[in-house]
Amino acid sequence: MSSSETKLPYGAITGKKLIMHFSAFDIDLPVIASGLRERMDVLREMDVAFAGFGTEIPANMSEQTPASVKCFFEYVGKEADPTVILKRAYHLVWSGMIDSFPDLEEWAAAKADLSNLTLAQAEVLRARKGE
């Protein structure tokens, strides 16, 4: 860890950049997007720009090595300490994810729907292959 890097439980701040890390086993892109949308207006007011997010697939993918989801931010202001502002942004994103997370019953229904969609897509692929 360099002297200009600040470690967080699920991320790091280096200079004016914040990278948040999530395990694809635990959190998926729609949950992160929902949390960001929930807090995006506050992030803009803090001069924090959202720079994107996505899944990083490890070279040796296995059941024990999940894909990593990374979320990127940059402090674009000039008047404040970037580390202080980006720490606030980090906590805002997490609170947005929690605040926008659906009730357990809604979440279970959504997961069941996704499972049914995945099974249907697999059936289509099998039919195309002639299995």
Who contacts 40 (Cβ-Cβ below 8 Å, separation ≥6)?
Answer: 50
Q: What DSSP string runs through 36-68?
A: HHHHHHHHHHTTEEEEEEEEE--TT-BTTBPPE
- Whether 71 and 90 have beta carbons less than 8 Å apart is answered as no
Query: Is the domain of 112 the same as that of 67?
Result: no
Domain that holds residue 24: 5-100
For residue 113, what pLDDT is reported? Answer: 87
For residue 10, what pLDDT is reported? Answer: 93
The angle at the Cα of 12, spanning 10 to 14, to the nearest 5 degrees, equals: 170
- Whether 59 and 48 have beta carbons less than 8 Å apart is answered as no
* pLDDT class of 62 with cuts at 50, 70, 90: confident
CATH at residue 63? 3.30.300
Q: How many whole angstroms from its chain centre is CA 106?
A: 20
For residue 131, what pLDDT is reported? Answer: 65
For residue 117, pLDDT beyond 50: yes
Over residues 38-56, the pLDDT tens digits come to 899 999 999 999 999 988 8
Query: Is the domain of 50 the same as that of 112?
Result: no
Higher pLDDT: 82 or 25? It is 82
What is the pTM (predicted TM-score) of this model? 0.75
CA dist 14 to 1, 71, 89, 95, Å? 10, 14, 14, 22
For residue 36, what pLDDT is reported? Answer: 92
Query: Is the domain of 9 the same as that of 60?
Result: yes
* pLDDT class of 1 with cuts at 50, 70, 90: very low
Query: Is the domain of 90 the same as that of 112?
Result: no
Higher pLDDT: 41 or 118? It is 41
Tokens found for residue 19: 């990278």
